[in-house]
């Protein structure tokens, strides 16, 4: 049951909804302990089977010990930077911001498409023995978390090991970690499994004290944008919407954790409500595999792979493995092509001053992708990946119409990521089919239509039950639907063509770099709670 806490200071009111009776608990570092006990399974020799939910899935088995002659040849002639030592472990560090954007050579950071593709390639690559994930605080929404978790579970079907290590983690990080075959933490780990919280801040009292009156017009009783300027507390409708979102996210979390660690839902809820602060309790109750340090995990992996303690563990990192082409592993697609257009960020007609090139969805950039002649003539279908809270009304409408025009000539599938709200969802409405993750924030078109749900936002599951989306799933589900709509057999491979944005100009590169250094230098971080996203939703 959700608790509701309200605090007010000098005219600033903050309303907090928490999915745990212990909403007032404070975080504290756990006590330290050490142990040499471990539960790693012995090394297995097993063939690598197709990852069934991936759009790149193959129909044959690829033996990790006896790769076919074609794959041997492709690996032999691969570029030097694609060379990977046989028996290597793919090591990926998942921390900080993860976006659905394709990363360019100019910028660092984690890209959801690249993380997922690396897991797909590693499942088939006879040179990769397993995966080692180091998971720390993540700055992304639940839709992205769900997509990565699905690929972790799919990788496990290959028969190769996947081990997680989490020194700092909360609900999102554990949601990923428990999907691994084993999950380890150091004795000094910082963890916070205390429930979920969503909050909203209101400045009405502050503005009133300085003699400022905010005038906000909106259509839809659930349209909360502008409330922070006009109200001193949360509205009944906003409270209702946030409570529903919180309940859905919490129930999904409990359900998936229950399946992963083999505990009843009641046990999980009881454990969280106890407010556990000692990491030993996590091991005793089976939440993690063991309490050990990173170097001890490395030592265990050496034993697992039959490597002496004096030798170095053969490791290939995220960036290097990202350069391995799918072609070398026989994962390239067929003659039929499906275009992929990624639409991420706040919708705008022009670039705002000091904005990051990845933070805005610019009208002209997106329109150029849709109006290219090859989009109409060359591709069998188009998948639009939408991760946007909305923005400029005119730009949203122009994008909507262009998608609608394209949908008249070929199948267009909207695949929703973390959030598709307001103008973001308005764009999706022009597609023939909308696919959403379980927890994608969906809807909220109060300004556009008073009948669709009065400006209220839903999670993906609730949106599906109300007809706002057509199917639940991630990118691979969107590809499968695109095949079906384009009359392409499901067992036939297709080539996915990314119509990514053009390379940034030198001024953009310099601005982006300066902004990143500024943010990192002063320690700014983005809030990952639900309401922080919703406050920025506008149409």
- What residues act catalytically? 422
Q: How far is CA 76 from the centre of its chain?
A: 34
423: which 2 tokens? Answer: 């103008």
Distance CA 435, CA 416 (A): 6
> DSSP 3-state assignment of 359?
coil
**Start-end of H helices in 105-203:** 112-124, 142-156, 171-177
| Residue-wise DSSP of 403-415 | HHHHHTTS-EEEE
Distance CA 263, CA 522 (A): 42
φ, ψ at 395 (rounded to 5°): -60, -40
Angle at CA of residue 259, ends 257 and 265, nearest 5°:
65
Distance CA 257, CA 452 (A): 33
Distance CA 425, CA 411 (A): 18
Residues in the chain, overall count: 539
Measured CA distances, 364 to 400, 428, 501 (Å):
13, 18, 11
Contact 17, 244 (CB under 8 A): no
Find all residues with CB under 8 Å of 492, minimum gap 6, and list them: 334, 336, 483
Distance CA 57, CA 162 (A): 19
Per-residue buried b or exposed e for 52-87, using 16+ beta carbons within 10 Å of the residue's own CB: ebbbbbbeeebebeebeeebeebbeebeeebebeeb
Q: Are strands 315-317 and 88-99 parallel, antiparallel or unpaired?
A: parallel
Contact 66, 316 (CB under 8 A): no
Contact 538, 444 (CB under 8 A): no
């Amino acid at each position: 049951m959700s608790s509701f806490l309200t605090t007010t200071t000098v005219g600033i009111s903050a309303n907090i909804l928490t999915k745990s009776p212990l909403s007032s608990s404070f975080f504290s570092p756990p006590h330290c302990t050490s142990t040499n006990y471990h539960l790693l399974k012995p090394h297995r020799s097993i063939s690598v089977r197709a990852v069934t939910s991936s759009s790149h899935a193959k129909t044959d088995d690829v033996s990790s010990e006896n790769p076919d002659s074609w794959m041997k040849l492709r690996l032999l002639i691969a570029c030097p930077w694609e060379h990977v030592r046989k028996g290597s472990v793919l090591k990926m560090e998942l921390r900080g911001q993860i976006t659905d954007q394709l990363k360019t050579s100019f910028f660092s950071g984690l890209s959801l498409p690249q993380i997922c593709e690396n897991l797909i390639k590693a499942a088939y690559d006879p040179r990769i023995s397993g995966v080692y994930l180091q998971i720390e605080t993540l700055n992304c929404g639940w839709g992205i978390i769900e997509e990565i978790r699905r690929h972790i579970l799919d990788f496990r079907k290959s028969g190769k090991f996947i081990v997680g290590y989490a020194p700092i983690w909360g609900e999102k990080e554990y949601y990923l970690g428990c999907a691994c075959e084993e999950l380890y933490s150091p004795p000094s780990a910082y963890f916070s499994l205390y429930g979920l919280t969503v909050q909203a801040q209101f400045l009405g009292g502050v503005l009133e004290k300085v003699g400022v009156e905010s005038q906000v017009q909106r259509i839809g009783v659930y349209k909360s944008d502008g409330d922070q300027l006009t109200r001193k507390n949360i509205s009944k409708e906003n409270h209702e919407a946030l409570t529903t979102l919180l309940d859905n996210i919490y129930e999904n979390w409990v359900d998936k954790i229950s399946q992963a660690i083999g505990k009843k839902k009641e046990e999980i809820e009881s454990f969280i409500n106890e407010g556990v602060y000692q990491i030993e309790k996590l091991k005793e109750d089976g939440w993690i595999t063991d309490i050990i340090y990173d170097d001890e995990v490395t030592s265990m992996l050496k034993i697992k792979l039959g490597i002496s303690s004096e030798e170095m563990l053969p490791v290939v990192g995220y960036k290097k493995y990202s350069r391995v082409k799918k072609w070398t592993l026989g994962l390239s697609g067929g003659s039929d092509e499906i275009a992929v257009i990624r639409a991420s960020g706040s919708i705008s007609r022009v670039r705002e001053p000091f904005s990051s090139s990845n933070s805005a969805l610019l009208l002209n950039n997106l329109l150029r992708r849709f109006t290219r002649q090859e989009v109409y003539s060359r591709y069998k279908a188009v998948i639009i990946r939408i991760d946007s809270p909305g923005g400029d009304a005119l730009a949203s409408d122009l994008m909507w119409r262009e998608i609608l025009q394209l949908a008249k000539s070929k199948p267009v599938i909207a695949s929703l990521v973390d959030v598709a709200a307001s103008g973001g969802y308005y764009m999706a409405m022009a597609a023939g089919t909308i696919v959403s993750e379980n927890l994608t924030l969906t809807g909220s078109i109060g300004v556009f239509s008073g009948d669709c749900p009065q400006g209220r936002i839903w999670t993906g599951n609730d949106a599906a039950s109300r007809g706002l989306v057509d199917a639940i799933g991630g990118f691979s589900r969107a590809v499968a639907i695109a095949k079906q709509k384009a009359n392409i057999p499901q067992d036939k491979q297709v080539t996915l063509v990314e119509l990514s944005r053009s390379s940034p100009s030198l001024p953009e590169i310099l601005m982006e770099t300066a902004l990143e250094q500024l943010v990192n230098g002063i320690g700014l971080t983005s809030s990952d709670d639900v309401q922080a996203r919703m406050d920025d939703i506008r149409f």
